Structure 1
Amino acid sequence: MISAKAELVKNYFDYESATKETFLSNEPYIYLYQIDDPFQRTIELQHLKEKGKELGVNNVQTLWESFEKSMKTVIPVSNDLITDFDGQEMDLKTTWECKDNGIYKDGDIACYHPIMPIERIVNVDTGLEKIKLAYKPNHNWRTVIVEKSILSSNHKVQQLADYGISVSSETARHLVSFLQEVEAKNYEQIKTTKAVSRLGWIGKTNEFMPYSENIQYDGDVAFERFFNSVHEKGDRELWINTIRSIQRLHVACRIVISASFLSPLMEKLGILPAFVHLWASKSSTGKTLLLMAGASVWADPDPGTFIQSFNTTAVASERIAGTANSLPVFMDELQLARNQWGNLNFDVYKLSQGYGKGRGTKSGGIDRMETWKNMFITSGESPIVGESAGQGAFARVIEVELEKIIFDFEQGNKISNILRNNYGFGGEIFIKEIKNRSDEAINRHYSEKVQELKNVRQDLQDKQLMIGGGLLVASEMIDECLFQDTDYGVLTAEELAPFLVTRESTAVELRALDLIKSWIASNSNRFETDAIPSQLGFIENQYTFVVRSELNKLLKDNGFSDRSVLSGLAQRNLIISEQRGRSGVVRNSVRRTMNGQQIEMVAIKNDFIQEEF
């Protein structure tokens, strides 16, 4: 077989018409190459050398050797066969004999039934590849997607037996060899598909899952139900009219719906993950139904599908947040997160960081860390952050107390049935609306809304301003593209501001000071000499002196950090600090004599506690 680079000529050479240019082309050497008899080829080469010399070409021998070498390298010798399975999706090249009764080569067997790679799946977040295998263990083709590392290991490939694939310790190495070869030989023919293991924005592209046709799910099977719950069902107009009517009922409804739509905007606006928490000490106020309304924007709102329970672990919460990624996370019944002593086993601050905990793998590496940038919309019978929570936790939560029933029984049942059968119509429309606007325009709109909130109340905490501004932007955007109900359905700065906390109210030291004041007032008799059972301190001049160890115990028992609280009080000049030793270390306590002993005490200005006595 002659290379395509060399055109065949007749099996003779015209010496009479040959010129110097002829010898510098491939024509004489093709003629020579086609002579099969070695003796005749040697004689003819001598004739060519003599003729070439006459024409001034003295290196015919060198030109021939070079031509002969190039022909040996460009002429492929292929032993490829084609897979010949009945009903196969495509024809693939291989050196193995592939028939319906198995895959064989040189007496070795790779598999006793048809099997072939038909798709390569690349995770755009991790870069990890998987292979989709088609196989026919009986009369029907089946498919399975497996990690590529499994198909590269003689030991791991035996795991395919769990899917009904014929593989054993004896055939494993031949199956690995066959699958590796088939993929390599047919790399271009086997299609490559992008995949992600989460919802939301994809990298720096404008793609958003699950609304991208070019990307498929490649996540944990345990979260596939959650992922697949994001879809449309039912009557679009009925859903729009229902949500429009819900928003008109109460400001809490407008906050929840706006929070649901805010979630995919948060990354563009630079807002860290945040919470909107609905709570009411009474039951049947409409908390769960409001969560269903917010969830119905994107997905099936039936509790247990897109709406999650607080009855879960910290790891599972991270995994759900990472899978939702840019979409909101809904969690119902906060009380389920309390332990047997009534303490809350749920950390708002950790989830609001936007990334999970680093964890090792069995192989000694580091597991992929989950990340997210979204809203958490939750409900329960009590606030989600306690009085002892840090400033960061308070700043990231908007608490909405439902003081009265929003939906009566009949109305609630009707809305619940509608939402269970009509949902998912807000998501894709809103994502298209975001894509149609420039990031600059969205951020300009956001800056205007933040300023509106500042105009209503100047002392709002910064992170609360950011969350609030985002809610106002989302509310106006969805009104334009979906609800057209400006007079009744749009959230305003005036009605939102009362739910936002101020800089002072998030300060942990001031919340601790309220506890200290109440404690001193209830134990006022123990701030006198010879108090029973023991003296806690004393009042002198403008200060109340409290035994440091007793105050530390009070703070720790109530979940506060004593060092953090005292540092904050010292910075506000509410307690006395003093320098000690040669190093001049500043301590937020003083030494005073009580009952004849020198004791470490905290001196609190009476102006801030006297009112409690």
Structure 2
Amino acid sequence: MSVLTPDEVLAKLKNVHKRGNSLVAECPVCHDDHHLYITRENDKLLLFCQKCKAKYPAILKALDVQPPTSSPVQTSSQKPKDHGKQIEEIRYTYRAPSGKPEYQKIRRKFEDGHKVFSFCYTDENGQVQYKKPEGCDNLYNLDRMAASDPGTLLYIVEGEKCADAMTARGFLATSTNTGSQKNLKLSETDLQTLHKFKRKIVIPDNDDPGMEYAKAWERMGAKIFPWREVWPDIQKKQDVADYFQQGGDPEKIRNWKYPAAEFSEEYFAAMDKADMIKPGLFAGIQALDDPLERQQIESLAAFRAKELGISREFQKNYKAWRVSQAQANKNSRNQTKFSGQPFALACGDWIADDDGVKKLEATGNGDFRYQWASPIPILPTEILLNQESNTEKIRLSYYKPDGWRSCVVPREIAANSSKIIALANMGVEVNSDNAKSLVKYLAGCVALNPAVLPRTKSTSHMGWIGEEFVPYTEEITLDSVDEYGTLIDSVTQKGNLEGWLAAVKPLLDNIYLRLAVAASLAAPLIKPLGALSFAFHLWGGTGAGKTVGLMVAASVWGNPAPGKLLQSMNNTVNFTTGCAATLGNLPFFGDELQTIKSKFDNYDQFIHQITAEVSRGRMDQTGRMQLQKSWKTAFLFTGEEPISQTTSGGGVENRLIEIECAHQVVANGPETVQAITNQYGTLGPAYIAMLKQKKQDGIDLRAVFNDYHKRLLQMETTEKQAMAMGIMMTADEFFRMYFAPELPALKVEEVMPFLKTTQEVDTAERAYNLVIDLVAQNNENFFYSRDDDYGRPAYHHAPMREVWGKIQDNHVWIIKRVLENLLAENGLSFRAVSKKWAAQKKLVPTKQGKYAGRMSISGINGYFVDLIR
């Protein structure tokens, strides 16, 4: 190292200039051009870099300078040799087997060819240390070696430049971090990684130190590459990088195979006892690819061992070497090496490359064989943590001829050799033979890569998760894509918002379509407003454009085509509730509701199930209660008949907004369908973004809703009817405010014809009217008489067959059992309505306050109910 005075040190620095009262210059360590601060005190020089924290000694070392003497006067014998300007700096990164950077080796070259080498690393405090870390690994490309198959041919060269030149041409190459050495200094990690390679070739520089370096590796079982056979004109000190730079053919190196022809009878005849137990011999035998040839050579070796009287020792050493190879492979930390993989994962002793996933294991006799986990590339690429159930799913990515695919499955499937076979349906190459190995490989990848494998917040449904709305957020992802992929993929965008508004706004003069779009936009408001799910139904004859109207409402959120967001109702109720649970807070769209009627006597049970907001409870095979799915949304249907019937309960009527389409919903159906086929899914994300923005704009959605709700209740509709329509009007107001201000506001008077009054929804009232109608229809089953003005019987009738009771004036005495059966046949209950009938003076209770009393009519005894008609 040169010795320079302070002036000479300053002369070596670059970009020296004044800043205030100080001098600054380019730091020779980190090469920042203005953070090296210089202070001079007489014959002393103080140097410090504020960028990399390099101090005086490190800076002098980087300049190839020794600390200056106290005297500025130097004799001619002390003047250092000037190597000229630095012309090159290269940094080589040394990595751990996992791929994590550990330190850098810095190579600087000057004009006269002089080279300076140094090391640096960043410690745990973020400080740059200009040395190697304690206990560091010494081999270059250690991560590539760890990820490679043990059968790969390993090339050992001198220096990182040569290793990079080999790597660039497809070779697996390494080097020690100090170049040529007589005595190799290798860490335990280095040795363990090296030990797994059966074939190693050292390509030294063409000089004496290079040959000593090659012999050191030969003692570890490597073969020395014969330069003269490949490059007859090689000059002294030239290396493999020079070979490539001068146009050398990589194939000549590749075609020089690991020597095996030397294993002849003459070869073994020349060997002594020590030669017969060297690792190089064992490595050469195992390197033979042909099993028959390898067995023949093993026999020749056994014959020679017997001649030397060391048969037992030879076999013991040979077996010990094979066991050590298997152990080295078992303890190795390979990495996945798939083409096109999103990232590399540590995979333990599994060899994961484009041929698939396999493991080299030792058999009982010391031989090796491959245990296959998968014949195709496969790896876990994401862990999804469900934010509501706190359960995990795993995303598996795997390669097929058409490219990379992925699937998301519960962790229990990927961890169970019996269940993982189900993934064969998705294209994963798994069967009963490799299932256990695949489970072990995947479990190992997850366990070994906690910092690499992404962990993502997930949910099984769309809609609100806290303040986020799925799928319009990057914070949370869906983990139910494989079960409801078509439905989820339909919530997508095509075209732009301006195009959709231009196509749809002219249609909103139609009150039916306006309310359908409002019902669609109302779905995301139900949860934040604490309201109940409801159904919206457009019904009427064919040709009214109901389906097109429903498609327009669906185009708010995504693809409105049948089979996409628009579902046929020719499905099971479980399918509908499963879709609703996946949509979460997005609306469900069902066309032609009458197709489901064959499964029910009426629609009441179906409406109750979908508006219950929770799936049916079930037990799993272990007797534990399964997690029930839930939703809060709006259901939009079309049909040819109304959903509610005379016998429908108030619960159904209350949860239903029904509109009979007396005129067309959409006048020009084909043109509208064409427009929304090219423009859809753009209003939804903008609408949700505005909902999240509402606080900043000073808009209180609850206040708007409460105002509409109050005004609707004043029109004598029911609480739940007012709630459903109030949410729709709130959604319409919000849409109009931000996206269509030219539209007139909806008025309560406009929507009231579509709401039921309190009396219409009153179950007791509808039950009473039903019974009175049935009595009139079946009057032949009653005794009845009429007196004249003087109280004398003027007319009398007696039932010919079945007796139901007696009619006299405005009283109907009906047998209680008959009345209960009539109501039950129509889905009603006498106990549910009797009290209200009595309060409304439609039923005369007994003196004891009972709603039925024992009496005799024309000699017929029984319990009768006295109704007033």
TM-score tier, shorter chain, comes to: 0.7 to 0.9
Q: Is the 8 A contact 2:843 2:867 kept in 1?
A: yes
Q: Deviations over 1:109-147 (max 9, x none)?
A: 252544432221222232222222344578965544332
TM-score normalised by structure 1 residue count: 0.78
2:517 maps to what in 1?
A: 257
1:83 and 2:335 correspond: yes
Q: State the shift of 1:215 in Å.
A: 2.9
1:384 and 2:619 correspond: no
Over 3 Å counting, the alpha-carbon distance change for 1:154 and 1:294 in structure 2 is closer
Q: Distance in 2 between matches of 1:275 and 1:340?
A: 19
1:309 and 2:568 correspond: yes
Q: Deviations over 1:394-415 (max 9, x none)?
A: 111111111223444xx22211
Q: Which amino acid aligns with 1:413?
A: P
Q: State the shift of 1:568 in Å.
A: 3.2
1:352 and 2:611 correspond: yes
Q: Distance in 1 between matches of 2:536 and 2:403?
A: 50
Q: Is the 8 A contact 2:408 2:481 kept in 1?
A: no
Over 3 Å counting, the alpha-carbon distance change for 1:423 and 1:91 in structure 2 is closer
Residue 400 (structure 1) aligned to one of 659, 673, 682: 659
Aligned pairs for 1:266-285 (under 5 A) are 266-280=526-540, 282-285=541-544
Q: State the shift of 1:267 in Å.
A: 0.9
Over 3 Å counting, the alpha-carbon distance change for 1:414 and 1:570 in structure 2 is same
Q: Distance in 2 between matches of 1:164 and 1:318?
A: 29
2:546 maps to what in 1?
A: 287
1:477 maps to what in 2?
A: 734
Q: Secondary structure at the match of 1:177?
A: helix
Q: State the shift of 1:95 in Å.
A: 3.1
Q: Distance in 1 between matches of 2:452 and 2:743?
A: 54
Q: Secondary structure at the match of 2:598?
A: coil
Residue 441 (structure 1) aligned to one of 693, 696, 700: 700
Residue 109 (structure 1) aligned to one of 354, 371, 396: 371
2:824 maps to what in 1?
A: 556
Residue 241 (structure 1) aligned to one of 477, 498, 502: 502
Over 3 Å counting, the alpha-carbon distance change for 1:510 and 1:262 in structure 2 is same
Aligned pairs for 1:502-521 (under 5 A) are 502-521=757-776
2:672 maps to what in 1?
A: 415
1:96 maps to what in 2?
A: 349
1:187 maps to what in 2?
A: 450
Over 3 Å counting, the alpha-carbon distance change for 1:466 and 1:103 in structure 2 is same
Q: State the shift of 1:106 in Å.
A: 3.8
Q: Deviations over 1:38-67 (max 9, x none)?
A: xxxxxxxxxxxxxxxxxxxxxxxxxxxxxx
Q: Is the 8 A contact 1:391 1:506 kept in 2?
A: yes
Residue 218 (structure 1) aligned to one of 479, 484, 488: 479
Q: Is the 8 A contact 1:96 1:178 kept in 2?
A: no
Q: Deviations over 1:465-511 (max 9, x none)?
A: 21122122111100011112233xx3211111222222222111111
Q: Distance in 2 between matches of 1:535 and 1:139?
A: 77
Residue 555 (structure 2) aligned to one of 287, 296, 302: 296
Q: Is the 8 A contact 1:197 1:219 kept in 2?
A: yes
Q: Secondary structure at the match of 2:358?
A: strand
Q: Secondary structure at the match of 1:568?
A: helix
Q: State the shift of 1:161 in Å.
A: 4.8
1:64 maps to what in 2?
A: none
Aligned pairs for 1:60-71 (under 5 A) are none
Q: Distance in 1 between matches of 2:400 and 2:373?
A: 10
1:425 and 2:682 correspond: yes
Q: Distance in 2 between matches of 1:451 and 1:343?
A: 32
Q: Is the 8 A contact 2:507 2:666 kept in 1?
A: no
Over 3 Å counting, the alpha-carbon distance change for 1:116 and 1:311 in structure 2 is closer
Q: Distance in 2 between matches of 1:125 and 1:588?
A: 50
Q: Distance in 2 between matches of 1:513 and 1:245?
A: 46
Q: Deviations over 1:429-461 (max 9, x none)?
A: 110111012398111111122233244x1x221
Q: Which amino acid aligns with 2:828?
A: F
Q: State the shift of 1:463 in Å.
A: 1.1
Q: Is the 8 A contact 1:329 1:376 kept in 2?
A: yes
Q: Which amino acid aligns with 2:607?
A: V
Q: Secondary structure at the match of 2:758?
A: coil
Q: Distance in 2 between matches of 1:136 and 1:331?
A: 37
Q: Secondary structure at the match of 1:146?
A: strand
Over 3 Å counting, the alpha-carbon distance change for 1:329 and 1:135 in structure 2 is closer
Q: Distance in 2 between matches of 1:532 and 1:466?
A: 52
In structure 2, the gaps of 5 or more residues are 1-122, 125-132, 135-329, 363-369, 785-796
Q: State the shift of 1:214 in Å.
A: 3.3
2:419 maps to what in 1?
A: 156
TM-score normalised by structure 2 residue count: 0.56
1:25 maps to what in 2?
A: none
1:597 and 2:860 correspond: yes
Q: Which amino acid aligns with 2:373?
A: C
In structure 1, the gaps of 5 or more residues are 9-77, 581-585
Q: Is the 8 A contact 2:604 2:649 kept in 1?
A: no
Q: How many residues align?
A: 521
Q: Distance in 2 between matches of 1:170 and 1:288?
A: 51
Larger strand proportion of the pair: 2
Q: Secondary structure at the match of 2:700?
A: helix
Over 3 Å counting, the alpha-carbon distance change for 1:227 and 1:168 in structure 2 is closer
Residue 396 (structure 2) aligned to one of 125, 133, 146: 133
Over 3 Å counting, the alpha-carbon distance change for 1:433 and 1:163 in structure 2 is closer
Q: Distance in 1 between matches of 2:344 and 2:529?
A: 50
Q: State the shift of 1:427 in Å.
A: 0.6
Q: Secondary structure at the match of 1:312?
A: coil
Q: Is the 8 A contact 1:137 1:166 kept in 2?
A: no
Larger helix proportion of the pair: 1
Q: CA-atom RMSD, angstroms?
A: 3.0
Q: Secondary structure at the match of 2:456?
A: strand
Q: Distance in 1 between matches of 2:583 and 2:819?
A: 43
Q: State the shift of 1:577 in Å.
A: 2.7
Identity %: 28
Q: State the shift of 1:222 in Å.
A: 4.6
Q: Which amino acid aligns with 2:445?
A: V
Q: Distance in 1 between matches of 2:427 and 2:587?
A: 39
Over 3 Å counting, the alpha-carbon distance change for 1:304 and 1:93 in structure 2 is closer
Residue 492 (structure 1) aligned to one of 741, 747, 752: 747
Over 3 Å counting, the alpha-carbon distance change for 1:263 and 1:340 in structure 2 is closer
